[in-house]
A and B are shown apart, each in its own frame.
Chain A
Amino acid sequence: MSKDWLSRLSRVATIILLLVALSVISPAFLSAQNLTNVLRQASLLFLLAAGLTVVILTAGIDLSIGSVLALSASVAANFIQQGWVWGGSLIGLFIGAACGLLNGLMVALIGLPAFIATYGMLWVAAGFAQVFMKGEIISGFPTSFRLLGAGHLLGIPVPILVMAAVLAAVAFTLRRTSFGRYVYAIGANREAARLSGINIRGNLLLVYSLSGLVSAFAGLVYVSRINAVESTIGEPLLLPALAAVCIGGTSLFGGEGGIEGTLVGALIMTLVTNGMNLLNVSPYWQSFVMGAIVVLAVAIDQLGSEKAGRT
């Protein structure tokens, strides 16, 4: 318990440190407008990382989230641009869930290692997204669709409300439903979970399908916000999403962590990106920094848990 508190405290401290540092670097940082902007950016990362968090809680991984986002957003955008907002969105969500289901089938039914199954899916989905878009950019969507990513409700940007709603829904599911308890049980000790009668395959299928669905939903929010889509939008999103989950304290070995940590992780990652932009750091450094943060986050988590006695 004390270790839990300490690591939570360290994450909050990191955020405060970043906030202080950024406001010293740039006076514009602490303006309400920039802070709203940070939250809006964090919301996309959080959405993508939310599905991933649940997958990782089961001691799995989903490397395909970025390219599934790109594929579903590309196909959906094509219909939405022609004015078919609801139909297009539903098709996008369906594609995301279908990719997730395929991942789930490979992992849960056939028993492939999750990282290799979802790595294959990463390339399949990325390839199809490229085939579909033919290297073009689709832009200019109906205003009704733009509401999702760029609109306001009661003065609050819609993506932030979406983030809050997803946070509440996932937190409730993980804490208060049997499915949520099964997710932790499967991640902590799969064999024990199986022996206690939990339907491992069914629950894993659901977890991976949800991850695909949430990725597709994140794609819709993303496209709606930037009002354009191309086949490569998902590529740079995997590392930050993975970093958000790791920094958020969800263990890659499963069964430990939660969605609240991922929110904190997404905020930290967004502040880091925001800070690099404010400091005029070359965008070429960002890939290095993201990679280094992932490595550091998992290394620190592992060293911390070794001290706490987990092997």
Chain B
Amino acid sequence: MSDNVWRAWARRATMAPGAVYALILLSLIFSLFTAQFLTLPNLANVGMQAAVLVIVALGMTLIILSEGIDLSLGPVLGLAGVILALCVKQQMPLALAILLAILVGAAFGALNGVLVAHLGLPPFVVTLGTFGMAQGLALVLTEGASIPGLGPGIQYFNDGLIAGLPVPIVMTAITFLVIYVILYHTKFGTYVFALGGNQEALGLAGVPVRLYKTGVYVLGGALAGVGALVMTGRMNAAHPTVGVGLEFDAIASVLLGGTSFERGKGWLAGTLIGVAAVSVLRNGLNLIGLSTSWQVSMVGTVIILAIVVDALRGI
């Protein structure tokens, strides 16, 4: 019996997404090289900083599962933050400001979704275009400057505590649970998986493929709006280009987490491990003292290695 159990575990180990190995390996390396890495304050810091990435990466997971991609999520998050800050500065009620920020995210998601699902355009080109549009709008609205000093209402999204837990962690957990239920326990979720398998067959079976596909992008955009709350709270300011590059970390996390572009193969919890791996990588490189430029190259290399290994395993 134990033989079978071992074999089952061994099989599971070879099937595990690259993120698991990356996370273990990176944690070992950084624990050896820096004394700071394996301390509670540092790990708590990694968790807090990862909150925004988790929220964006969860949306990205659904988009990638549906055989899509959204390169615009980073700048859309930046734009949503700008809208949030502008509304707060106009003395608008906080709830309305938050609603508007999330709506802006959802609107860009809807634009992406309609162009991809209804016109059948390649998602990476469409979202590269809307990347430019969102970034341009954020820059125009702020004239390239930060909007600082937003006050306690906004800072609550970083400093606040709910039942003793930091608000970003609670928001991340709630987002994960909501997306988990949507993906695994609703018809919508079942169709998202199916979208990545065979859209032609799905369409012939009478499923409104375009509607569901658009919905995935709308959800991704709205989550970028939610991420903007936490990001703006952390800085107590909005900056037009703050989100640029976040889409890259999100894509890296999703792919490391074992979700692939084809075959509708994916795992929501894998994305969490992917985010942990990417966040640990960035944090560790920071502690070692490597510049953000090196981090960009390293994350780029890790993402390429992960997809190459994934592709080779699939052959």
Chain A residues within 8 Å of B, Cβ to Cβ = 61, 63, 106, 110-113, 115-117, 119-124, 126-128, 130-131, 134, 231, 238-239, 242, 246, 252-253, 282, 284-295, 298-299, 302-303
Contact = CB atoms under 8 A, between A and B. Distances in A.
A299 B251 CA distance: 25
A61 B124 contact: yes
B124 A63 contact: yes
B128 A63 contact: yes
B291 A110 contact: no
Interface in B121-136: 121-122, 124-126, 128-136
A140 to B, nearest CB: 24
27 contacts: A115-B69, A116-B261, A117-B304, A119-B248, A120-B301, A120-B303, A120-B304, A121-B300, A121-B304, A127-B293, A130-B296, A239-B132, A242-B125, A242-B128, A246-B125, A252-B125, A284-B139, A284-B144, A287-B135, A290-B136, A291-B129, A291-B130, A291-B131, A291-B134, A295-B130, A295-B133, A299-B121
Contacts of A131: 291, 293-294, 297
Contact of A124 (B120, B121, B297): B297
Nearest to B303: A120
A288 B140 contact: yes
Given A131-B291, A291-B136, A298 B296 contact: no
A256 to B, nearest CB: 14
B295 interface: yes
Contacts of B65: none
Contacts of B144: 284
B115 interface: yes
A130 B293 contact: yes
B297 to A, nearest CB: 3
A111 B143 CA distance: 43
A293 to B, nearest CB: 8
Given A63-B128, A239-B132, A286-B136, 15 more contacts: A119-B71, A123-B303, A127-B293, A127-B296, A130-B296, A131-B293, A238-B128, A239-B129, A285-B140, A287-B133, A291-B128, A292-B129, A295-B126, A295-B133, A298-B122
Contact of A288 (B69, B133, B292, B312): B133
Nearest to B143: A284
A287 B308 contact: no
A112 B307 CA distance: 8
B150 interface: no
Nearest to B133: A291
A286 to B, nearest CB: 7
A107 B248 CA distance: 19
B311 interface: yes
Contacts of A116: 69, 251, 255, 261, 307
For the complex of A and B, list the 4 residue pairs with the smallest distance between their C-beta atoms, beginning with the closest. Answer: A291-B132, A288-B136, A127-B297, A130-B293
Contacts of B139: 284, 287
A179 B107 CA distance: 44
B311 A112 contact: yes
* Residue from B119, B292, B298 whose CB has the most chain A CB atoms within 10 Å: B119
Interface string B254-268: 010000010000000
A293 B124 CA distance: 15
Contact of A294 (B69, B129, B308): B129
Contacts of A61: 122, 124-125
A123 B132 contact: no
A128 B134 CA distance: 27
A127 B143 CA distance: 27
A48 B71 CA distance: 21
Nearest to A311: B120
B205 to A, nearest CB: 19
B137 interface: yes
Given A124-B304, A299-B119, A119 B124 contact: yes
Contacts of B216: none
B119 A303 contact: yes
A193 B8 CA distance: 43
